[in-house]
Structure 1
Amino acid sequence: MKIHEYQGKEVIARFGAAVPLGYTAKSAEEAALQAARIPGDIKVGGGVKVCKTPDELKQHAARILANPLITPQTSAEGQRVKTLLIEQGTVIKKELYFSVLVDRESKKPMILASAEGGMDIEEVSEKHPDKIIQETVDPLLGLRNFQALRIAYRMGLDAIDPKLPAKAAKCFMSLYRAFSENDCALLEINPMIINGDNEVVCLDCKMSFDENALYRHPDIEKYRDLDEENAVETEAAKWNLNFIKLDGNIGCMVNGAGLAMATMDIIKYYGGEPANFLDVGGGATAERVEAAFKIITEDPNVKAIFINIFGGIVRCDMIAEGIIEAFKKVNLRVPVVVRLQGNNADKAKTIINGSELKDKLVMIDDITEAAKKSVAFVKG
């Protein structure tokens, strides 16, 4: 789960990290009122726009709220802006990069940092790989002070001010605690700055969280903005379905993440394009399968559906019942290929063959042939 920048700053501020003074607004008029609460002439609004007068701020606010925001992180259509963050202007002496993420190789938290802040870390990594600082953290011990100081010295902060490494280390440790104690998947500050008073300030904040741990953090879950999430993926989550929308035209319904990945791979191998990743899980019920079917068929790009179920914990006959119920409620106009193997597979085939669906879908036992047939339906 991702949250907004202003929400992320609220979180890290609670752990002691310094952030600019700022307020949120939902209209140009409110933005002007909030800006009046902030000392100084220079204000920074969401977008990011630097404003020197109230009129300039109001004009920028109205423009941003009226038009979709298009950035490298959004789609071509952009993203509608509903909330603005108005912040105090800050003198920037030096920009830094700091992030905490989970390193899959070491299976531990890892800090990525650089003295080259304000740029995409991918760009820094490509052009200046020697300027990327990596520090693996023992999750049982947390980030130690000597590690935080080592990062600060490697950034060269002592050359700016001998007191800066200690200040930066304190900020790093606050950010790590915010990451660890909230079960984050990512915490990124870009840029982190050294201001005119040689203080360390988090000028930006990006945070995402492990959704499997949100039950432990109701305060974080309250930040969830469903308008910022894919509506179909949100609906799938209500049914405990693991669903990701893709750009292809062959809908996939599979049980188990590994089998789902293999199914998508074999579809692509034979020249097709999967329209989604959809794992109904090991504890699938007929109701969950019916919901999965509806979610797939709501995608207008889907021209064929490949149902690939290996019965282990989940019973194939239960899947068959879900398919039948879904067919009764969905006006399906695309071909469906079904492969059912494993627990109660024969019983499932008997159920389907004894229903009115026997002429509406294709039953194939071999995964290769089933994938080929799915692709042929789309290309045919």
Structure 2
Amino acid sequence: MNLHEYQGKSILVKYGVPIQNGYAADSVEEAMTKYDQLAEETGSKFAVIKAQIHAGGRGKGGGVKLAKNRDEAKEHISNILGMQLKTPQTPGGMEGPGKKVNKILVAEDAYAPDFAACKEYYISILMDRGRKQNVIIHSTQGGMDIEAVAEETPHLVHKTYIDPELGMQPFNAREVAFNLGLSGLAFKNMTKFIYKLYAAYLGADSALIEINPCLHKPDDSIIAVDCKFSIDGNALYRQKEIAAMRDVTEEDATEVEAQSYGLNFVNLDGNVGCMVNGAGLAMATMDIIKLSGGEPANFLDVGGTADAARVEQAFRIILRDPNVEAILINIFGGIVRCDRVAQGVVDAYKNIGDIKVPIIVRLQGTNADIAKKLIDESGLNVRSAVALQEAADVVKEVLS
């Protein structure tokens, strides 16, 4: 689950990580009140207005603006709130529809009073699954796309691995500070920053924390100016406070709806809809679709307890995609009985009505013979298959 910048920073504060202070708002009136409050606290009329969406590169799309006085702040706030912000990371990139900005962050000018004397770093923490260790990725090239830095100047990207049995050790934090070229008070402050950041990463059950930029100020203090926070969805059951921060308006509406029905669904860009039980079988089904000349339109796992109602909802979700030219249903009846799924397919077909795309159904396992008979005798435009290759051949046939 992804968090907004202001939400991620609220978690960092709980772990003592220094941040760029600011206040979130979802209306011009509230934002101006927060601006006045921030100006009184900092003694400065300078403020940064930041769009809050789940995407990076906000500044490139006009979603981050520096205001030098109250009038400029109101102008930027009015322009950013409600805009369709397009960044390289929003759907479709800069040519896509973008994302609507429903909330902004009114933040202090962290670079004052001497912008030129400030230094930006990149720091992130995530799991390296190959090594089965958490890794702190860091670079002196802060404020830039780390992918571009890694491609063009890979020697400037450093990795510090944390032994899961030992946890964060003093030498780990010092290694990061050394690699960033720090010394003196800045060195000490960076090691403290890394310790606290890692504690936040573990404590929040994070999948990723990215601080870009991490700012080294002229007084040698270290603060997080931006914050990308992603939480491991499997741990949300024990992170109730963080789970409450979920913003479904930032997520794919179809995927959110699918979750409400207990379906594991991910939208893709292909032309063959998939309905499968089990993640492994779903991946194999997507592979066979590609080998048959098609492209998966989605990943959809109906789970091990699929019933007629859930199958019907899965059908409706798949059919909303105008790019779908065929639907492949691939069910292995272990816990779920194949005849129950087959009846769900028949009932869904009749309830939905005029389905234009061909449907291929492969059912194997418990009561597969009964299921095949149900499909074949339904009188519907549904083709059954026994072997996976047979199902793939039918997909290829209907697409040609």
Alignment partner of 1:371 is 2:392: yes
Alignment partner of 1:15 is 2:33: no
Alignment partner of 1:327 is 2:352: no
Q: In the aligned structure 2, how far is the partner of 1:157 from the partner of 1:321?
A: 67
Shift of 1:136: 1.7
Shift of 1:116: 1.2
Contact 1:249 1:378 (C-alpha < 8 Å) held by counterparts? no
Shift of 1:225: 0.6
Query: What letter corresponds to residue 198 of structure 2 in structure 1?
Result: Y
Contact 1:116 1:124 (C-alpha < 8 Å) held by counterparts? yes
Query: What letter corresponds to residue 146 of structure 2 in structure 1?
Result: I
1:133 equivalent among 143, 151, 158:
158
Shift of 1:312: 2.6
Give the aligned partner of residue 182 of structure 1.
204
Please give the secondary structure, in 2, of the residue aligned with 1:163: helix
Shift of 1:235: 1.4
Give the aligned partner of residue 157 of structure 1.
182
Contact 2:375 2:382 (C-alpha < 8 Å) held by counterparts? no
Q: In the aligned structure 2, how far is the partner of 1:143 from the partner of 1:153?
A: 16
Query: What letter corresponds to residue 28 of structure 2 in structure 1?
Result: A
Q: In the aligned structure 2, how far is the partner of 1:61 from the partner of 1:299?
A: 36
Please give the secondary structure, in 2, of the residue aligned with 1:36: helix
Q: In the aligned structure 2, how far is the partner of 1:333 from the partner of 1:261?
A: 26
Q: In the aligned structure 1, how far is the partner of 2:221 from the partner of 2:181?
A: 15
Give the aligned partner of residue 83 of structure 2.
67
Please give the secondary structure, in 1, of the residue aligned with 2:193: helix
Query: What letter corresponds to residue 25 of structure 2 in structure 1?
Result: A
Give the aligned partner of residue 301 of structure 1.
323
1:273-288 alignment, distance < 5 Å: 273-288=295-310
Which deviates more from structure 2 when the two are superposed, residues 32-41 or residues 284-293? 284-293
Alignment partner of 1:43 is 2:64: no
Give the aligned partner of residue 31 of structure 2.
31
Alignment partner of 1:89 is 2:73: no
Q: In the aligned structure 2, how far is the partner of 1:315 from the partner of 1:165?
A: 62
Query: What letter corresponds to residue 374 of structure 1 in structure 2?
Result: V
Q: In the aligned structure 1, how far is the partner of 2:82 from the partner of 2:314?
A: 36
Question: Kindly, what percent of the aligned residue pairs are identical?
Answer: 47
Which deviates more from structure 2 when the two are superposed, residues 309-318 or residues 67-76? 309-318
Please give the secondary structure, in 2, of the residue aligned with 1:157: coil
Structure 2 stretches of 5 or more lacking a match?
51-62
Give the aligned partner of residue 359 of structure 2.
336
Query: What letter corresponds to residue 33 of structure 2 in structure 1?
Result: L
Give the aligned partner of residue 57 of structure 2.
none
Shift of 1:190: 0.4
Alignment partner of 1:108 is 2:133: yes
Q: In the aligned structure 1, how far is the partner of 2:373 from the partner of 2:238?
A: 45
Deviations 1:314-358 (A, max 9, x none): 32122112212212321222210011112221121123334x3x4
| Cα root mean square deviation, aligned | 1.6
Question: TM-score by structure 2 length?
Answer: 0.90
Please give the secondary structure, in 2, of the residue aligned with 1:37: helix
Q: In the aligned structure 1, how far is the partner of 2:264 from the partner of 2:169?
A: 37
1:258-277 alignment, distance < 5 Å: 258-277=280-299
Deviations 1:157-201 (A, max 9, x none): 11xxx1212211111111111111111111110000111321000
Shift of 1:248: 1.4
Give the aligned partner of residue 52 of structure 1.
68
Give the aligned partner of residue 370 of structure 2.
347
Contact 1:44 1:86 (C-alpha < 8 Å) held by counterparts? yes
Contact 1:100 1:176 (C-alpha < 8 Å) held by counterparts? yes
Shift of 1:23: 0.9
Shift of 1:369: 2.9
Q: In the aligned structure 1, how far is the partner of 2:157 from the partner of 2:310?
A: 45
Q: In the aligned structure 2, how far is the partner of 1:132 from the partner of 1:337?
A: 49
Shift of 1:308: 1.1
1:317 equivalent among 335, 339, 351:
339
